[in-house]
Amino acid sequence: MTQIAAAVGTDDRTVRSTRIARRRSPSQRRASRRQALIGWAFILPFAIVFAVFLIAPLAYAFYLSLFTKGLATGTQFSFFGNYVQAFTDPAFLKGLWFVVRFVVVLIPVQMAVSLAAALVLDAITTRFARFARLTIFLPYAVPAVIGALMWGFLYSPIFGPTQQLASLVGANAPVLLGPDTIFGSLVNVVTWQWAGYYMIIIYAALQGVDSTIYEAARIDGANAWQLAFRIKVPMVANSLVLILVFALIGTLQFFSEPQILRPIANGTITPDFTPNIYAYSVAFSYAQFNYASAISFALGFVVFLFVFVFLFATRKRGSVFA
Amino acid sequence: MKKSRLLVAAVTAGGVLAALVGCSPSSGGGGGGGGTVEHATNCTNKLVVKSAPTVTVWAWYPNMAKVVDNFNNAHKDVQACWRNAGAGGPEYDKFQTAVSANKGAPDVVMLEADHLTNFEIQNALVDISKYGANKVKGNFSAGAWKDVSSGSAVYAAPIDGGPMGMIYRTDIFKKYGITTPPKTWDEYAADAAKVKAAGGPAFGDLGANVPAAMMALEIQKGAQPFVYDYSAKPKDISIKLDDQGSKDVLNYWADLSKKGLVGKQDQFTTDYISGVVNGKYATYISAAWAPGYLTGAGVGKGQDKGKFATAPLPQWDPANPVSVNWGGSALAVTTQASDKALATKVALGLYADPASLADGWKTQTIFPLNQNVLKSSEFINAKIDFFGGQTANKDVYVPAENAYKGFTYPPFTVYYYAQLQNQLTAINAGKIDGAGAATALQAQIVKYAKSQGFNVK
C-alpha cells in the first residue's frame, strides 16, 4: 500500500511539472484543455447514471423526509420532526437493536468461518483444494432470494428434511423460524451466503503474499500454526478490515432474507423486524412515504456512525480508505 | 485497434442510452398505462375490437382470462385490458404506490371490501354512483351493497363475497366420534378437547396472518371495532377494539391455542396446505371462496378426495345467529382513469355476464354476490364436488350471505391488520392473553389514528 502511495506521489509530481512546462506555449495549453475535456467525456456516462440513479433519488428522499402526511390531514412541512419521531419510535428502535445484535453475533462468526476456510485452502495444494474452493464459493453465486427460499424449505417443520430427520427418532421437528430460534437461523443463512465470498477475498490476499516470507519463517522454525496466525493473518489484515466494513454495512441494512422468509415464519418476522423492512412497510403498505424516507435516512446515519467509529478504531492497522 | 475501441465505445454509449430510455415512463411497463385510455398496451389478454378505446384493469381472479374475453367479445365500444398485478397484499402495495405517485394506477382495480375505505380517503377511488352504478343496486343484497358504499356514494361494483362457514374433515370427525358438527363455539371447544384427548389432530388453526378472519369472528360476538363514515365526516372515527366481545373471542382462541387444541400455523402457506392435505386440522373456519383456493392449492384431489364437508359457522348464541364475512372483492374505478364513465361501464360489466358468473361459481373461484345467481336454483341446488356432492350453497353459504348485514372498515386497514397479526403471533407464542392483546391493540390503533390526524372518539 505504501509503495502504491509512493508511486502515486511521484506520478502527481511528474504531472505537475509537465503542467508547468506546458504553460509556456498557448497551443500546448489548448491541447491540455482538450485532453481535460476528453477526460470528462469519459466519466460522463458514469456521472450521468450516478447523478440520475443515486444523487437525485437521495436528494428527493431527503426532501420528502422533511414533510409529514397524515391520512386525514394534508402534507405539512415538519422540518426534522420525522427524525425525532423515528429515533423515539419503539418499532424503529426495536429493529435497530435487532440488527445491532445481529452484527455483534454474525460478523465474528462469518469472519471466523471465511478466515479458517481461506487458511486451510491456502495451506493445501491438491486438486481437492480447487474443488473445495469452488464449493465454498458457490452459495454466493446463488441469488440471495433463491437462497432464502431454499432455506425456507430446509427449515420447514412440516415437509422439510428436519421433519424427516426428527421423525426418524420419533420427535417433532424443531420450529426453526420461531421467536426464539429465528436469530440463529438467520445467522446461519447469511453466513452460508457470504462466507464463501469473504473467503475468496482473504484467499486472494493470501495468494499475493510473497512466499519467501514463509520460507524465512520456516527456516526460523515456525510451525504451520505459527505460520498461519503470526504471518498470514497479519499479512491479510487489510482484507479483514475491508470485509468487516462490507459486512457491517450489509448487515445493518438487513432486508432480503427476512423479507423472503416472512410469509412462512408464522408472524415471527414482523413488519418492523429490521429498520429496512420497517421502512418498506411504512412506505408501501402504510402509504407514509415521508416517514419512510426519514427512517431510511436515520438508518443511513446509524450505518455511517458505525463505519466511522469502526474505521477510527482500526485506523492504525487499516488503510482501506487511507 | 483504434477502430475496434471506437466501436466498443459506441456500443457502450448506445447501451447506456437504451437503458436510460428503457426506464422512461413512456414505455408503460408495470404502470399499466393509467390515464391513457386510448393507447393501453401490454394487456395480458388479446383485444378483440382493436379500434375501440381500452380500459386498463388489475385483478387476480384465477379465471380472469375467460372473464375478460367474455366482456371484450360482447362489447364493441370498449375493451378491457387486463393485467394481474398480484393477489391481495402485493397488488395493494403496487396500487398504493401508484396512488401516492399520482400516476401509474389502472383505470379499474380489484380490491377487497375491507380495503376500499383505505383508498377512498386518499381520494384514489371514484364515486361511481355518478356514472350509473345505482342501476345495478338491485342485483345485490343490502349487506353486499353497504360494503362498497359510504353513505350514498358507491366506490366499487361488488363481485365476490365471503360468507363464513366451518369446513371440516368427515374422516376425522367419524374417527373421533363426532356425529354432528359443533353448532356453538362451546361445542367447538368441547369437541376439540375430545379429539385431542383421543390423540387426534388439531381441531382448527389460529393463523396469525389472517387478521381479517379474526376481526369477523369478533364482530360475530357483537364487537363493533370501527364507526366511520367517509362521506359524512372523513376525519371522525370511533375505535373500540377492547370491548367485551373482542376480549371474549380473543381469549377463547388464546385458550384453544394455549391448550394445543388448535394449530398455530400461518395460513395460505405451503406448510398449512400440507397440513390440510395430511389431516392435521379437523376444521377450517373459513369463507365460501375457500374450496376454490384449496382446490387450486392441490387439496381434495388425491388421498383426501371427498373427505371435506361444510357446516354453518358455530355461534355464540344459537337463538340469535350472526352471519359474518371474510374477504370478498369488488371492482373499483380509480381517480386516475381518464374516462371515468367508460371505466365504470367496465367495472359494472366485467364480471356480471351469466357466462363469467357461472364459470366463477362452478369452479368456486368466487362466491357471486349477484342476486341473479344467488337466487337461481342451479346455484342453490348445486352439488359441490369438493364437498363430496354436498349442496353446500343451500346448506351453508346462501343463508349466511342472506343474513350478512355488512361491516364498517377503518380507513387504515393495512395498519390495523398488521397490528392485529402481531398480537395474534404473541398469543400463539403464549406471551399475552386475549384480553391483554385487545387492550394493547386499542392503545396502538388509537395512537396511530391520532398521528394520522383523525379525531378519535
The answer to whether residues A44 and A167 belong to one domain is no
Q: Please report, in angstroms and rounded to a whole number, the separation of the first and last CA atoms in chain B.
A: 78
- How is residue A199 written as a grid cell? 473467503
Distances (CA, A) of A3 to A7, A10, B221, B387: 6, 11, 78, 79
The answer, yes or no, to whether residue B2 has pLDDT greater than 80, is no
What is the pLDDT, as a whole number, of residue B263?
Answer: 92
| Mean pLDDT across A210-237 | 90
Read off the pLDDT band of A47 (50, 70, 90). very high
pLDDT for position A7: 41
**What was the pLDDT predicted at B39?**
52
> ipTM for the complex?
0.74
Q: What is the pLDDT of residues B373-430, one digit of tens each?
A: 999 999 999 998 889 889 999 999 999 998 888 888 999 998 999 999 999 999 998 9
Taking the Cβ of residue B22 and every Cβ of chain A, the question of whether any pair is shorter than 8 Å is answered with no
Number of continuous H segments (helices) and E segments (strands) in chain A: 16, 2
What phi and psi values does residue A244 have, to the nearest 5 degrees?
A: -60, -40
Q: Are B325 and B198 in contact (CB under 8 A)?
A: no
Confidence (pLDDT) at A314: 77
pLDDT at position A316 is 59
Domain co-membership, A208 together with A267: yes
For A:132-171, CB contacts with B below 8 A are 156-159
Hey, what amino acid is at B49? V
Q: For residue A5, is it within any domain?
A: no
Q: Are residues A173 and A32 in the same domain?
A: no
pLDDT, average across residues B106-130: 93
Domain count, chain A: 2
Mean pLDDT of A131-139: 90
Q: CATH number of B30-161+327-374: 3.10.110.10, 3.40.190.10, 1.20.120.1200, 3.40.50.2300? A: 3.40.190.10
List of chain B residues whose C-beta atoms are within 8 Å of the C-beta of residue A286: 412, 414-415
B18-64 pLDDT, tens digit per residue, is 333 333 333 333 333 344 444 556 788 888 888 889 999 999 988 89
Residue B14 has pLDDT above 50, yes or no: no
Q: Quick one: average pLDDT of A143-169?
A: 85
Residues B387 and B286: their CA atoms lie apart, in Å, by: 14
Q: Answer whether residue A77 is part of any domain.
A: no
Residue A93 lies in a domain: yes
pLDDT of B33 reads 38
- Residue-range domain boundaries for chain B: 30-161+327-374, 164-324+388-456
What DSSP line would sit under A67-100, residue for residue? EEE-SSS-EEE-TTHHHHHHHT-HHHHHHHHHHH
Does A163 share its domain with A212? yes
Q: Measuring CA to CA, which residue among B34, B119, B10 is closest to residue B83?
A: B34
**CATH code of the domain containing A113:** 1.10.3720.10
Please state whether beta strands B164-169 and B283-287 pair in parallel, antiparallel, or not at all (unpaired): antiparallel
How close A207 gets to chain B, by Cα (Å)?
33
Distance CA B334, CA B111 (A): 11
Cell numbers linked to B2 = 483504434
Given a contact cutoff of 8 angstroms between Cβ atoms, the answer to whether A140 and A196 are in contact is yes
pLDDT score for A180: 84
HSE, side-chain direction, 13 A CA sphere, residue B388 = 12
The pLDDT tens digits of the residues spanning B137-161 come to: 999 988 889 889 988 899 999 999 9
Q: How far is B115 from chain A (nearest CA, A)?
A: 12
Share of chain B above pLDDT 90, in %: 61
**Domain contains A138:** yes
CB B228 within 8 A of CB B401: no
**Is there a domain that residue A228 lies in?**
yes
- CA nearest B234 in A: which residue? A72
| pLDDT of B41 | 65
Q: Is residue A71 part of a domain?
A: no
Q: Which residues pair with B283 in a beta bridge?
A: B168
**Confidence check: pLDDT of A139 > 70:** yes
For the cut 50, the answer to whether the pLDDT of residue B12 exceeds it is: no
Nearest CA in chain B to A46: B16
Averaged pLDDT, B168-181 = 93
Please tell me whether residues A107 and A136 are part of one structural domain.
yes
B30-161+327-374 against B164-324+388-456: fold identical: yes
Q: Are residues A214 and A137 in the same domain?
A: yes
Q: Domain spanning B164-324+388-456: which superfamily?
A: Periplasmic binding protein-like II (3.40.190.10)
Please check the confidence at residue A178 and state whether its pLDDT lies above 50.
Answer: yes
Across residues A54-74, what is the average pLDDT? 89
User: Is A293 among the domain residues?
Assistant: yes
Residue of chain A whose alpha carbon sits nearest to that of B20:
A49
Task: Provide CB contacts within 8 A for B313, sequence distance 6+.
Answer: B164, B165, B166, B220, B285, B323, B324, B400
Most B CBs within 10 Å, among A175, A266, A273, to test the B interface: A266
Q: What is the pLDDT of residues B189-219, one digit of tens each?
A: 999 999 999 999 999 999 998 999 999 999 9
What pLDDT was estimated at residue B111? 95
Same domain, A95 and A212: yes
* Cβ-Cβ contacts under 8 Å for B61 (sequence gap 6 or more): B67, B110, B159, B160, B329, B351, B360, B365, B366
- Do B418 and A52 make contact, defined as CB atoms within 8 angstroms? no
Question: Based on the domain organization, do A23 and A127 belong to the same domain?
Answer: no
A6 within domain boundaries? no
A50, A137: one domain: no
Per-residue pLDDT at B27: 32
Please give the residue range of the domain that contains residue A49. Answer: 18-64
- Taking the Cβ of residue A73 and every Cβ of chain B, the question of whether any pair is shorter than 8 Å is answered with yes
A40 and A116 in a common domain: no
Q: Is A41 on the interface with B (CB under 8 A)?
A: no
- Cell numbers for B445, please give them: 390503533
Cβ atoms of B247 and B435 within 8 Å: the answer is yes
B contact residues 267-286, partner A, Cβ 8 Å cutoff: 268-271, 274-275
- A158 with B121: Cβ contact below 8 A: no
Strand, coil or helix: A126: coil
Angle between helices B211-220 and B413-428 (to 10 degrees): 90
Provide, as residue numbers in chain B, all residues whose Cβ is less than 8 Å from the Cβ of A284: 93, 96-97
